Structure 1
Amino acid sequence: MSDTPTNDDLRSSATHVLIPDATGLDQAEIDVGADVEHHLRRVLRLRDGERVSVTDGAGRWRMCVVVMGSGFGLEATSEIVTAPDRVEFTIASAIPKGDRVDWLVQKTTELGADRVVLLHAERSAIKWKSERADKQIVRLQRIADEALRQSRRVWRCSVEGPVDAMGLIAGAAVAEPGGEPLTGNESLIAIGPEGGWSPDELGCAGRRVAIGENILRTETAAVAVTTLRMTLHH
């Protein structure tokens, strides 16, 4: 088995895989599950000997190689790397219209958010009923997992909600024109609907933070906040 891999190895892998069972990362032969195997074999058409990075989504990862013998397999070729602990960051957001919520989840995951929580605010134009919400969250989690693979992340971003905004923003930082600058140490920042936060919601928030002088769409604000927070974080 080779030495401990580096981030250069992670970035240069043929693809990045999130495995369904975290304990599977400890095995010499990695079980990726039927759906992922189909994607690697039939969509990406990986060949024997190609290097693949594999993560459990909980900060651990290692390098593997594709083995095409009697079937398809991934064989571990490096030690397991454990990423340093970090302050988790949650972006909470009112639900934007149409497929803009897909873009919000995809981009905030790529940028480094650890949780995306969708909100029902008092002025939300979009509110999902329970049955639709359950299906949407499953679909959006798939989008977040694909963004993890694309961006070579080793921490899975969870997609949750929708929840009532008043129950989440108490004591949190909310994006609002005229607010304070971000410090980079925020663990939770909430984005309101395009109609803005209600007076009651603003009164409940612990702190107001500004992300610029312009009025942004909900999904743009979520991406801007995530970018600023991850850039400033120390």
Structure 2
Amino acid sequence: MTVDEERRSASAQIFVKGDVLDADGVITLDSSTEHHLTRVLRLSDGEYVSVSDGAGRWRLAGVIHAGGSLTLEPAGPVVAERRLHPPLTIATAIPKGDRVDWLVQKAVEIGVDTVQLLHTERSVVRWKAERATKQVERLNRIAHEAARQSRRVWLPEVQPPVPVLDVLALSVVAEPGGRNVAVGDTFIAIGPEGGWSPRELANAGARVQLGPNVLRTETAAVVAATLCVSNSR
């Protein structure tokens, strides 16, 4: 079994700070992580957990139950993995309801590193500062859980919403009739279901198409993420 296969076959993955990952001896867990491994996953002695610092480094650790608590004992060296592709960003208008949760979860599982939320001219969903702070905190929890589930060793991030004109010059925009997504397209902007406004398109750079059909915002984000990852490997 290769090192990568060992990580992927672990019973669970968790994230810790770098100094915790590097320390010798048992790895002591915070209460929420211990509860997740013990009560939710119900891990047993002898099972292995992949422990990552979220910055590309990880190691295997074995589960130990003692004194009513669970700790982890390092079972191998710290491994540093190179990125398989450049960091990928999907900038997206915020879809309605819980669709944004699904968007973040699936984009992270596919391999997106940053989800940048946008307020566009035709956005239906707009968050004021206080709500945005709470929602982004919640979405980052979803992103980190998706990273654990998919055995990623690079932690993703959800960024608070910004005016779309702040990012159009940095990205390519998803728009019917554009060119195909190409190698080097690592920052794609997705508009709201009402589409981009003429002013936004006038300020946009290259346009890329995501297929022949009209897509919901969250679907477009997932398609764009898939194409970016596929092209960059």
* Alpha-carbon distance, 1:5 to partner: 6.2
- Residue 57 of structure 1 is matched in structure 2 by 54
Note if contact 2:186-2:228 (Cα within 8 Å) is conserved in structure 1.
no
- Residue 24 of structure 1 is matched in structure 2 by 20
Structure 2 distance, partners of 1:99, 1:171, is 28
- Residue 30 of structure 2 is matched in structure 1 by 33
Note if contact 2:12-2:148 (Cα within 8 Å) is conserved in structure 1.
yes
* Alpha-carbon distance, 1:184 to partner: 2.8
Structure 2 unaligned spans of 5+: none
Structure 1 distance, partners of 2:177, 2:28, is 51
SS of the residue 1:170 aligns to: helix
SS of the residue 1:180 aligns to: strand
Give the alignment partner of residue 82 of structure 1, picking from 47, 65, 80: 80
Structure 1 distance, partners of 2:87, 2:170, is 16
* Alpha-carbon distance, 1:40 to partner: 0.7
SS of the residue 1:30 aligns to: coil
CA RMSD in angstroms comes to 1.4
* Alpha-carbon distance, 1:69 to partner: 2.1
* Alpha-carbon distance, 1:186 to partner: 1.4
Query: Cα deviations across residues 166-217 of structure 1 (Å, max 9, x unaligned)?
Result: 1111141010000011113212100000111111111111210111010000
In the alignment, does 2:213 pair up with 1:214? yes
Structure 2 distance, partners of 1:25, 1:136, is 29
Query: Cα deviations across residues 71-113 of structure 1 (Å, max 9, x unaligned)?
Result: 3211111111111144111001000000000000000000000
Structure 1 distance, partners of 2:136, 2:163, is 15
Structure 2 distance, partners of 1:31, 1:202, is 52
Structure 2 distance, partners of 1:173, 1:104, is 19
SS of the residue 1:13 aligns to: coil
Structure 2 distance, partners of 1:82, 1:200, is 45
- Residue 152 of structure 1 is matched in structure 2 by 151
- Residue 7 of structure 1 is matched in structure 2 by 4
Structure 1 distance, partners of 2:22, 2:42, is 25
Which structure 2 residues correspond to residues 26-175 of structure 1 after superposition, within 5 A?
A: 26-28=22-24, 29-70=26-67, 71-85=69-83, 86-175=85-174
- Residue 178 of structure 2 is matched in structure 1 by 179
TM-score under structure 1 length normalisation = 0.95
Structure 1 unaligned spans of 5+: none
TM-score under structure 2 length normalisation = 0.95
Structure 1 distance, partners of 2:176, 2:140, is 30
Displacement over 4 Å in runs of 4+ = none
SS of the residue 2:59 aligns to: strand
Structure 2 distance, partners of 1:5, 1:66, is 21
> What letter is aligned with 2:151?
R
Aligned residues: percent identity?
A: 51
Structure 1 distance, partners of 2:198, 2:152, is 38
Structure 1 distance, partners of 2:189, 2:28, is 38
